[in-house]
Structure 1
Amino acid sequence: MTAEAATRNTEAPSSLPHWAFPPPQGYVAEDLDHIPGLPAHTQLIDGSLVFARPQQRFHHDVIFGLHRALADAAPDPLQVCQEMTVKLAPMQRPEPDLIVLGPEAPSDEGVSCYQAEDVILAVEVVSPDSVVRDRKRKPTLYAEAGIPHFWRIEEAGGRPVVYVYEIDPATGVYVGTGIHHDRLKLTLPFDLDIDLTTLYTA
């Protein structure tokens, strides 16, 4: 069922738009491009719409600082993007906080969604309302889609802590390769050295 059909056929209270209630079989990734009035940064996870809540200062500052640091370190032709959805499967279209795109990823202005094979790194900054999704569900989906690198960032003592994962090709699941508190120095997916203490000051 398309988003338009769901809008026509689903009963909903007048205070809520019809699309707030998924059709019985769930939405598919392409529906996000056609649902009228959909709030910005809406994600699709397991066929259901997930709406963004207002950002906290930690979340905003860490994403902003890390985006700049990754863009400075990433070699050409890799691209760093934020606030872009990624189609992982027919009913999975999450929006990572940051992604690093490989050399074959499209770069034209009309792109509204990337494919899993375009992404070499997905980054999630955990918010109070996204703990379960960012710790469990999203990493599982990213690994199943074959995204080779995943970082999860959490606040501890007013500072960002980066949990780094790499996919194990034998099992298809992420394996933790390090927990970084003050400094993030890696050689994969490319050489970088980031002072984490500069990303956020409480």
Structure 2
Amino acid sequence: MTAQPIDPAPAGMWHPDPVRQRLADYTIEDVLTLPDDAPRVELRDGVLVVVPSPTFGHQNIGNRLWAWFSQHGPEHLVVGTALGVAVSHRNTFEPDVVLLKAPVSGEHHYFDAEQVVLAVEVVSPGTRRRDRIEKPAGYADAGIPHYWRIEQDPVHVYAYDLVDGRYELAADSAEELIVSKPFDIRLRVRDIAP
């Protein structure tokens, strides 16, 4: 028997370096060079955090909103799902739905915050604190002009606009969300509800 540390992951399976995790030493450059077999991660203050798979209901809301934006959004905005946003050198987020300024390269998974017009988070039981507090603060610090939070059971949409570095509630509804930014929107909530 030896005193060598035991590697907790099977050979060949990617996992973060435990020393770098303890040191909170990861940066956006590391995230951009992760191997293809790495799990979906967000960078939180230099630590790689595996993003849990969303539930069917969660995905359904995000996919329906993606379809709604695809049909109703202006040509100068491009909608995507599960794309990374670099909010700082040591922090990334993966909003459920994102509106980006066109043009958008199909080769990228991560985008600079300057290209993001709207970040949308669908709240699940395991992501409440992050989606209600941490992510809006990070998006605001990065200067993303609009943030939506969608609560489930029942579906309720909260739309926020960035004002003087902080998000202010612009509108909310469980029936029809009406806002003028980032474009004129009349979203019937039942159109995105599972």
Deviation at 1:129, TM superposition (A): 1.1
Cα distance between partner residues in 1 of 2:17 and 2:55:
24
1:183 corresponding residue in structure 2: 176
Letter in 2 for 1:147: I
Change (3 A) 1:82 1:14: same
Change (3 A) 1:20 1:151: farther
Deviation at 1:18, TM superposition (A): 5.1
Contact 1:149-1:165 within 8 A present in 2 as well: yes
* Mean CA deviation greater in 114-123 or 44-53: 44-53
Letter in 2 for 1:108: S
Contact 1:124-1:153 within 8 A present in 2 as well: yes
Kindly report the root-mean-square deviation, in angstroms, between the aligned alpha carbons of the 2 structures: 1.9
Cα distance between partner residues in 1 of 2:106 and 2:169:
35
Deviation at 1:196, TM superposition (A): 0.8
1:90 corresponding residue in structure 2: 89
TM-score (norm 2): 0.87
Question: Residues 90-148 of structure 1, C-alpha deviation per residue, up to 9 Å, x if partnerless?
Answer: 00111111111124xx4223222100000010000011111111011110000000000
Moved over 3 A (4+): none
**Gaps (5+ residues) in structure 2?**
none
Question: Aligned residue pairs: how many?
Answer: 184
Question: What SS does the corresponding residue of 1:129 show, helix, strand or coil?
Answer: helix
1:140 aligned onto 2:144: no
Cα distance between partner residues in 1 of 2:120 and 2:5:
35
**Gaps (5+ residues) in structure 1?**
1-10
Deviation at 1:48, TM superposition (A): 1.5
Cα distance between partner residues in 2 of 1:97 and 1:12:
38
Change (3 A) 1:12 1:120: farther
1:51 corresponding residue in structure 2: 50
Of all paired residues, the percent bearing the same amino acid is: 32
Question: Residues 49-85 of structure 1, C-alpha deviation per residue, up to 9 Å, x if partnerless?
Answer: 2212232122011001001111222111210111110
Question: What SS does the corresponding residue of 2:130 show, helix, strand or coil?
Answer: helix
Contact 1:159-1:197 within 8 A present in 2 as well: no
Contact 1:12-1:18 within 8 A present in 2 as well: no
1:166 aligned onto 2:161: yes
1:38 aligned onto 2:31: no
TM-score (norm 1): 0.84
2:69 corresponding residue in structure 1: 70
1:102 aligned onto 2:97: no
1:197 aligned onto 2:194: no
Contact 1:151-1:163 within 8 A present in 2 as well: yes
Contact 2:24-2:45 within 8 A present in 1 as well: no
